[in-house]
């Protein structure tokens, strides 16, 4: 029976599994497919809320992103398990040819400057709220500016969150380790797939949630009669004409 008795042996095993996954699978393509599925799931959740009579866009966007993230975690676990099962029987006889410096999937996620966006949005909203009737023409411009900011930063956060391959690789390694633990003498503990996935995705999720709620709040404040973002864009374009 093979023994993984210390972190060095575990790290060497992890490096070998990571190399095998990179060699046998196009992880970027898998990440793209996983992200596409998650966005379709979020679109379905948003559509169901709209037809169920949900009026607050901020609340709808919050629920949509929450449901999408939960679905993403479940599909991520299933997808990673499939990748691991497609590998040959996992080899614990890992050589030591100086491969310990192979790039790991555990890079730090990009930290979005949510506080700066919040200050900017809050200041713009206060300025718009304090405008007199003679300056009411500024409101559509402010709304367009805030909507554009929320869309750009929110879309960037969603790309980092759902279309990257780092979380998929990290979860696949954790799943593979759980399989090895069941048939080998393992004397070390790891964080587990759920902790690894959340650790790599919570910052983009927080940024996306913030931008979505800000976007929904802006639309609820300036255009309470609209039921969706495309409808708001059409209304703004019509107002500019």
Give domain limits for the chain. Answer: 3-99+111-240
Which of 34-48, 108-122, 211-225 is least confident? 108-122
Which of 80-84, 104-108, 177-181 is least confident? 104-108
Contacts of 55 (CB under 8 A, 6+ apart): 227
Beta bridge partners of 186: 4
Average pLDDT over residues 99-120: 42
* Res 215: pLDDT: 83
Helices (H), the chain: 7-24, 27-51, 57-86, 114-129, 138-162, 166-181, 193-222, 229-240
Average pLDDT over residues 14-42: 89
Percent of the chain with pLDDT strictly greater than 90: 19
């Amino acid at each position: 029976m093979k023994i993984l008795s210390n972190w060095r042996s575990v790290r060497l095993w992890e490096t070998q599994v990571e190399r095998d996954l990179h060699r046998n699978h196009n992880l970027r393509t898998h990440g793209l497919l996983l992200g596409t599925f998650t966005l379709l799931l979020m679109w379905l959740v948003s559509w169901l809320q709209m037809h169920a009579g949900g009026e607050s866009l901020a609340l709808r966007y919050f629920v949509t992103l929450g449901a999408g993230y939960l679905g993403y975690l479940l599909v991520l676990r299933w997808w990673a398990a499939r990748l691991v099962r497609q590998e040959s029987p996992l080899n614990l006889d890992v050589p030591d040819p100086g491969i310990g410096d192979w790039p790991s999937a555990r890079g730090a996620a990009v930290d979005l400057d949510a506080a700066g966006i919040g200050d900017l949005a809050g200041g713009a909203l206060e300025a718009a709220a304090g405008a007199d009737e003679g300056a009411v023409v500024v409101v559509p411009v402010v709304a367009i500016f805030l909507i554009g900011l929320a869309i750009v930063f929110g879309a960037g956060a969603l790309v980092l969150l759902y279309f990257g391959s780092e979380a998929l690789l990290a979860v696949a390694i954790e799943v593979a380790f759980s399989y090895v633990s069941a048939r080998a003498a393992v004397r070390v503990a790891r964080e587990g797939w759920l902790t690894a996935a959340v650790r790599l995705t919570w910052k983009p999720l927080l940024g996306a949630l913030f931008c979505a709620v800000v976007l929904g709040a802006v639309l609820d404040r300036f255009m309470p009669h609209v039921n969706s973002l495309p409808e708001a864009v059409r209304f703004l374009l019509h107002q500019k004409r």
